[in-house]
Amino acid sequence: MSVVQVHKLGIEGAFEFTPAVYKDDRGLFSSPFQSAAFAEATGRPLFPVKDISHNLSAAGVLRGIHYTATPPGRAKYVYCPHGRVRDFLIDLRTGSPTFGKWETTELSGDDCRALYVPVGVGHAFLSLEDASMIVYVMSEGYVPENERAVSPLDPELGLPLPGGPPPAQSERDLSAPTLAEARERGLLPSYDACLEVEAQLWP
């Protein structure tokens, strides 16, 4: 029977799942998502899946902080089957008891650790190796006009990014507002709206 270590993160509603990894001279086998462990930790099954996507990133690429306007909002289950990344979750839900708080976790193809990202929680990662892959299992499909970003370089957030050459970022991420700017412009979701959307994910 597979064993999953579950850790409730410091951001309200977010969880980390570390499954058993079985290695031999052929490679490895693991199950990054196991329904029984998820339901036991969260009190409900995973949301009905509407979209599964992935990306590949070279070392030094920084993606995020990304989130979805709420409503409609999107919950995510993410893991790294290949490579290694420094992952960040940031609570962007105004009114949340953990608003503005971030958590960082290393995800890799060696430990197959996964994260549950609630509606309204931002996600970012820094790729630590070439060809690092992140898989996203999501509660809603991608709608470009609903997607939002906050700058991961916001000094008030203070994400622990390494010094040296600046990370490689998309134009969208380079021009993203700070957390304070996004809040002032009314771009951040409310905690109550996120909880309401999340409660409606299960038919």
Helix (H) or strand (E) holding 202: none
Alpha-helix runs per DSSP H in 94-201: 171-174, 179-184, 191-199
Query: Phi then psi for 196, rounded to 5 degrees?
Result: -65, -45
Amino acid symbol at 162: P
Tokens 């079985």 -> residue: 22
Torsion of CA 176, 178, 184, 185, to 10 degrees: 0
Tokens 């370089």 -> residue: 153
The catalytic position among 66, 77, 123, 191 is 66
Tokens 């409310």 -> residue: 190
Q: Is 77 noted as a catalytic residue in this protein? A: no
The catalytic position among 77, 79, 136, 191 is 136
Q: Is 136 noted as a catalytic residue in this protein? A: yes
Rounded to whole angstroms, the Cα distance separating 115 from 9 reads 9
Torsion of CA 153, 103, 92, 196, to 10 degrees: 160
Torsion of CA 180, 181, 185, 187, to 10 degrees: -70
Residues belonging to the active site: 66, 136
